[in-house]
Structure 1
Amino acid sequence: MKYVCFALILWLGASPLRAQDSTAVRRDTVIAPTTTDTSGNDLLAGLTDSTEKQQLLPHKMLFTQRAFWGPKGLLRVMNVAPLTPEGRIHELKVRRTMLIMHQIGGFVTLAGFVAQGILGAKLYNAKGQDYVDTKVWHERSATFINIAYGTTLALSLTTPPPVVGAKPGFTSIKLHKYLAIVHLTGMIATNILAHMIDNNPDLKPYHRAAAYGTFGAYAASILAIAF
């Protein structure tokens, strides 16, 4: 009986302790959401900071692109194209349109090269009035090619820059650009030699070699991105 009374006393004494512990648990439960909200606010602030620091322009651009579209480019300074996220979205649409026009111009110029090559081959063997007539068409074709080539080149050099820079490693786009340097050099040499032939007919083989080399590099540059 003594042991029963002693156990009853211990049980009654432990009950308040359990009740106190239960209250402590409920107090912790109330405080916990406050801690969670603070973490959420910190996370939201971090996301906001990263959005504000988002890069709008690639680090590497063509010098012509930087002159027009760079952070201190002509269009930025004149406030024609402010550097904002909304503005960059519009610029990327403009870029797409200009690149499509660049591709169309490339094929038109290539067709002009083919016609010019046919007229050039005919001109080398023509005589008399046939030579005069063929030379007139050859010169007209050359003027058309120079205009088409220059327009196509300008569209490529002045497009708004992409979101990110060029991919690392060798790509078809880089091959296209390397070949562009070759056919641009060839175009300049071909035009210079064309104006020198009248006073120095011995330059005809060099003019023809420059023209064929330019056509080959130009055709290869188109194939590099077409397939």
Structure 2
Amino acid sequence: MKILLWGALCLLLTGPLYAQDTTRVVSPTAADSLLTELFDSSSTVQPLLPERMVFTQRAFWGEKGLLRLTGLAPLTTESRQRELKVRRTMLVSHQVLGFVTLAGFIAQGILGANLYHAEGARYTRLRNAHEAVGTAVNISYATTALLSLTAPPPILGKRQRGLNSIKLHKYLAIVHLTGMIATNILAKQIQHNYELKPYHRAAAYTTFGAFAAAMIVIKF
């Protein structure tokens, strides 16, 4: 009986020592690499939505956006993958319509330049054409802008510091959007005050220049 008790006591005392010795088989390097892998895998988990979004994107695609609340686009990893494909399609369409709008601006510039010196029936004909093209340009411009403003937000990534083509494109967008609004307002006021023609033309040229520059920087 005493032999059994002594044997059990020795087993209890030496058991932890054996367990501690077995850990020496795993090298510190292997343990460190395992911990590193665990930390790396956890750091790759990112939120599904960026913190900063355009207000129109947040209204549709935010956590409490319209498409989330209606269940049309649940905030899941699979849904976000589909949204990125939708985003690409919308941005490609944004670029294509941008060139269409740019062509409309050029046509408006030609018609507007001839309209300034036209008289009689020619003036009426050019003015009607100028107004028709202006309506088409406004529609294409608004559609182009909405495709960008309502596209699903991008995935999270490292923010580029300094000035780059994307930021420059956005800054120029503010310029040509302001010019577009001013051009349309002045176009309506010219009918009552012909002295506003130079300002209307200046706003139109500024809008065209900023829009063309925005298309160039994002394309090249």
Task: State the TM-score, normalizing by the size of structure 1.
Answer: 0.79
Q: Judging changes above 3 Å, is the alpha-carbon distance between structure 1 residues 113 and 91 closer, same or farther for their aligned structure 2 residues?
A: same
Q: Rg bigger for which structure? A: 1
Deviation of 1:50 after TM superposition, in Å, equals 2.4
For structure 2, which runs of at least 5 residues remain unmatched after alignment?
1-14
Name 1:170's counterpart in structure 2. Answer: 163
- Residue 124 of structure 1 pairs with residue 111 of structure 2: no
Name 1:182's counterpart in structure 2. Answer: 175
Runs of 4+ with >3 A deviation? 30-36, 45-49
Name 2:216's counterpart in structure 1. Answer: 223
Deviation of 1:73 after TM superposition, in Å, equals 1.2
Name 1:11's counterpart in structure 2. Answer: none
Letter of the structure 1 residue corresponding to residue 151 of structure 2: T
Name 1:200's counterpart in structure 2. Answer: 193
Give CA-to-partner distance per residue, 1:94-114, whole Å, 9 cap, x none: 000000000001000000000
Letter of the structure 1 residue corresponding to residue 183 of structure 2: T
For structure 1, which runs of at least 5 residues remain unmatched after alignment?
1-23
Q: Judging changes above 3 Å, is the alpha-carbon distance between structure 1 residues 171 and 128 closer, same or farther for their aligned structure 2 residues?
A: same
SS in 2 for 1:168: coil
Q: 1:142 aligned to 120, 128, 134, which one?
A: 134
Q: 1:85 aligned to 74, 77, 86, which one?
A: 77
Deviation of 1:54 after TM superposition, in Å, equals 2.6
Alignment of 1:1-227 (within 5 A): 46=38, 50=42, 53-164=45-156, 166-227=159-220
% same residue: 60
SS in 2 for 1:160: coil
Aligned residue pairs total 199
SS in 2 for 1:125: coil
Q: Distance in 1 between the 2:24 and 2:101 partners?
A: 68
CA contact (8 A) 2:46 2:156 kept: no
